[in-house]
């Protein structure tokens, strides 16, 4: 039997959906078909539990020896029951499913939306920031992390339809071999993000690195980002030879994170990757809020918790006060203390 797990949008969302796909594979005697956008196929190479993929251009793919090949849709798709778990539940996924069901008859389960919870968390955080003058000791509620929410819902929905296996299947995160050469000890700085209100200033990344080099002289820092931040990366790298600006593809970025000591990021994709790979990391939060479902519970939250935050759900838009105080005043010394505390704990 085939189970389709559908997630079409951003890299971070796909990483979260892979968490649910892994749990389905471990608990049910099924084959996973991951349904996503064509450019995310390289990401699925890291997942041994996914052998089939269906892309939004309505093409079927099979993984052989670590690479994907496009093949005709298997004939038993039309005879076996085919269930699709829609982890997106938006107009985009609905439009795709209308086309998909014309080709492959299937049953669809759509994960419930959590708009009320997100509105509640935004309102609560604004009220607390107005009446409290100190940072909350526990800013993250683990139950709000979307990966856990989706996993619990998927297992509950499928348990009504399928028989549980007596023993879960084994699972390992295997990465494709790359020719990537990495330092022996290094930290990853992920510059840039998908939203303007999540971009920590370039100078802060540079100053944080210089603080680390001063106190930990054997440390290296790999700078990675999308192409739009390459000039900033290269500029920082010129300030100290311990900086390395790298043009990394998706798989190489995941490998660099997996082998690193620590990660600093303001974007969702590296943070979800750190969660899946069990890596310590600092998450730089400006206009966003940790309990909207996008913040992994093990993140070290770096935030000023200003009264005007959160002002956005995904970090899109512009600062209403035109000063981006939530990020500009989040100084490198604060993040350095978190990293230094962790590095000293390794001794």
Write the pLDDT tens digit of every residue in 69-102.
999 988 877 777 788 999 988 899 999 999 988 8
Q: What is the pLDDT of residue 277?
A: 86
CATH superfamily of 186-345: Glycogen Phosphorylase B; (3.40.50.2000)
Q: Fold for domain 2-114+143-159?
A: Rossmann fold (3.40.50)
Burial class (CB in 10 A: 0-12, 13-18, 19+), 65: exposed
Write the pLDDT tens digit of every residue in 171-227.
444 555 566 789 989 999 999 887 677 889 999 999 999 999 999 999 999 999 988
Average pLDDT of span 101-118:
75
Q: At what angle do helices 250-258 and 268-277 cross, to 10 degrees?
A: 50
Average pLDDT of span 105-132:
66
- Residue in 202, 204, 260, 209 with CA at minimum distance from that of residue 232: 202
Mean pLDDT of the chain: 83
Write the pLDDT tens digit of every residue in 295-347.
787 889 888 888 787 777 666 778 888 888 989 999 999 999 999 999 999 87
Q: What are phi and psi of 96, to 5 degrees?
A: -65, -45
Q: What is the pLDDT of residue 78?
A: 74
Domain with CATH 3.40.50.2000 in the chain: 186-345
Q: What is the pLDDT of residue 110?
A: 85
Strand 243-245 with 31-36, pairing? unpaired
DSSP letters along 225-244, please?
--GGGHHHHHHHHTT-TTEE
Burial class (CB in 10 A: 0-12, 13-18, 19+), 301: middle
């Amino acid at each position: 039997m085939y189970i389709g797990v559908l997630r079409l949008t951003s890299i971070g969302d796909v990483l979260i959906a892979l968490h649910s796909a892994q749990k389905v594979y471990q608990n049910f005697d099924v084959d996973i078909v991951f349904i996503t956008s064509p450019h995310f196929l390289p990401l699925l190479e890291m997942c041994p539990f996914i052998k089939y993929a269906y892309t939004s251009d309505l093409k079927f793919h099979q993984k052989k020896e670590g690479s994907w090949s496009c093949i005709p849709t298997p004939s038993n798709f039309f005879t076996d029951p085919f269930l699709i778990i829609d982890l997106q539940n938006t107009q985009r996924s609905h439009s795709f499913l209308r086309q998909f069901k014309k080709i492959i008859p299937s049953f669809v389960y759509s994960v419930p939306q959590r708009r009320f919870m997100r509105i509640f968390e935004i309102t609560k955080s604004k009220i607390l920031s107005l009446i409290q003058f100190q940072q909350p000791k526990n800013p993250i509620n683990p139950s709000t992390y979307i990966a856990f929410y989706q996993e619990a819902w998927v297992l509950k929905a499928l348990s009504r339809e399928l028989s549980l296996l007596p023993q879960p299947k084994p699972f390992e995160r295997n990465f494709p071999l790359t020719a990537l050469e990495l330092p022996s000890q290094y930290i990853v700085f992920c510059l840039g993000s998908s939203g303007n209100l999540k971009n920590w200033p370039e100078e802060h990344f540079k100053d944080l690195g210089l603080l680390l080099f001063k106190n930990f002289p054997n440390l290296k820092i790999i700078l990675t980002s999308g192409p739009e931040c390459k000039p900033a990366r290269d500029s920082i790298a010129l300030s100290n030879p311990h900086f390395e600006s790298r043009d990394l593809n998706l798989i190489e970025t995941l490998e660099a994170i997996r082998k690193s000591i620590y990660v600093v990021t303001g974007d969702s994709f590296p943070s979800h990757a750190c969660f899946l790979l069990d890596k310590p990391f600092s998450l730089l939060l400006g206009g966003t809020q940790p309990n909207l479902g996008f913040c992994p519970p093990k993140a070290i939250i770096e935030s000023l918790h200003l009264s005007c935050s959160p002002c956005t759900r995904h970090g899109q838009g512009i600062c209403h006060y035109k000063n981006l105080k939530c990020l500009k005043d989040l100084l490198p010394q604060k993040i350095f203390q978190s990293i230094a505390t962790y590095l000293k704990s390794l001794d």
